[in-house]
Amino acid sequence: MRRAIAGLAFAVVAFCRNNPDSAEALRQVRENVHTYLDQLPRITCAERTRQTIRIPGAKSTETREDSCDTRQYKLYSAPTLSLLGGRSYEPNKKPILPDWRERLKDASLGATTGFLAALIDLQADAGLRWVRTGRANGREVSLYAFQEATSEGFLLAEATGSVRVPFKGLLSVDAATGALAWAEIQCIGIPRESEYIGAEVTVDFGSFDVAGRELNLPAHSRVRFRMKRGDTTNEAEYSAYRMAEFGANSDIKFGDAVEDKQ
């Protein structure tokens, strides 16, 4: 009887591996995403971020090192073109909100990978579906596609307001274990009047030792915003993962970070 049960268990595992489009395989992928999002608030790491702003005739790059749960600075996006371009950034002469800096996304790991929550939100119904199986970095991977609607879409912050837009994406997982390999999204349906013409996020995952446990966590991310008047790129490398130590709030406003650049 035990042999029969063991054989059945093996058959189920083998079936999931050979049928990545099965309900069980999709459940396992969602469970691995849920595990990552659940453990994220309890861990921290070292984050090295390289942020670049480009406008016609000028380019500025800044490298920062901090913890990956930092809120000390924000992602460079459309409004931050004014840091480099000054008067060249005039969003259609619309009134600029005074708190635009505060409404920008944190340049943190949580903010960068937050789009993954759509895959486990049943109400969001991102339509996770298997696309194909292939090989990447010497291992077999399964590729899944998904798409999120406007109501739970990606937030684009502008100097005159903010808007959520839908996005579509791909998720690559290890075909044998379901471990996350990489994920990417591309914003779609951006309003024509927006300063943005495109936005993409890519996250590469790896295996890290955290307090004696091997965890599947981000190793690298890239957030790119393409605008009518320029381009910004935010790239980050993550390392030295460890359990977070909760202490006093030491947030620094974005305005302070701007002053430090000068």
Entry pTM? 0.80
pLDDT the model gives residue 233: 94
Residues whose CB falls within 8 Å of the CB of residue 160, separated by 6 or more in sequence, listed in order: 91, 92, 94, 95, 96, 97
Q: Which two three-digit tokens encode residue 221?
A: 């991310």
Q: Which two three-digit tokens encode residue 12?
A: 């189920």
| Domains parsed from the chain with CATH numbers | 2-243+252-261 (2.50.20)
- Nearest 5°: the CA angle 5, 34, 221 is 125
pLDDT the model gives residue 116: 92
pLDDT the model gives residue 209: 95
**Helix or strand holding residue 17 (H, E):** helix 2-18
pLDDT the model gives residue 190: 93
In DSSP notation, 82-109 reads HHHHGGG--STTPPPPTTGGGGSPBSSH
> CB of 33 within 8 A of CB of 126?
no
pLDDT the model gives residue 9: 36
Nearest to 73 by CA among 231, 262, 261: 261
**Segments of the chain with pLDDT less than 50:** 1-15, 87-88, 247-262
Tell me the chain's radius of gyration from C-alpha atoms: 20
The residue written with tokens 């453990």 in the block is 39
